[in-house]
Structure 1
């Protein structure tokens, strides 16, 4: 069974950025989201971008004044980020998120004031236990009062029939579609990529699959609070969940998160 890393290395990384359209426009979109959530430097200005991909959030964070440590497993995507960062304060670190966040005394180094895990990275972890490990690791890596921002897809509601086929990208030389197959705790995501060969103009199909966790907003917020965070903001818009939490010395149960549904 292919792992998430295998899936990206052999298929998705080559086409990852183009799935989102214009790179600069995507960075601007992420910067606007971070500003709307009030995520600007407050102290040390250190920020961790966990599962940074090709760097949409990393560049947006650096433009806002953060000193960013960007972590991902994909050498190709980190290479794209490195080529695009220019003089921005972004350090790229190749490694497994859990290994990096739990490694004592090593990277990502001093305590940060912000960690982000965005772009649906969270469901890519191997199990709910791994999600809890990530939350606990982030709590240790953040200063008291430090913030943790997440975005992820709520896959708890099952799509049916042809709705399970989702167009991802189409252009003159690449067409991408994914197909979802639901399992009790995970969703099996099949990516189908058609590419037009330059030499003969014929279309060729490449396909692979990986699994995403089915995480509900309620479960994620509960586990954040159990790890030492206080959830301050939660919204759900068209199936995308956005959560912001602060690391607290003691976390009470009387927090009222802001909820938005669209």
Structure 2
């Protein structure tokens, strides 16, 4: 079964003379349980695709389907029980005056869960933090700990699809591997599907089954990760990216 289908997606910002076409005719699909990567240099449109899927980029055309359901420009509440996103900067994505307990508790409340206390504890255990972090505030946490809270918040509605927007790029190198390993474990434990944006091919090679290479808002090639590892890309730009990564 296909978890996500994106067909002929165009995303733009502004209008008339000020219009910027950020994504042009993007088409790809992601199977249930798969981890799919979007790679390319800064400004290639990777994160914009995730924002269009979640409704954060309102100006788009084409077709987006999640679990076979066509997604319109207005997302129903049920959409966010299926699809959640983890952002690049864990500090900016957490309210500075809300404790970890408030961040997770409010998310659970919004999605109609009743046994909130028990679920908060379980979420903290899931992301390797534990109860001692429950009443801390973002400024009392390290970057890696903040990103673990952001991942716990995304897991709270029990989604099937997680959109990961460079989830480790704002973290110290020593912490990046811990977060990537956590995400890999969570994918297995919760049978999650991932779409991961990254400019780091080694991260995509570690985390993803397939990937799409983007350049100037367009997908130029979709590859199996084995092709990436063996440096066998066909498109000249994909080969250029691979050579640069060495």
Q: TM-score range by the shorter chain?
A: 0.3 to 0.5
| TM-score normalised by structure 2 residue count | 0.36
| TM-score normalised by structure 1 residue count | 0.34
Q: Judging by fraction of residues, say which structure has more helix.
A: 2
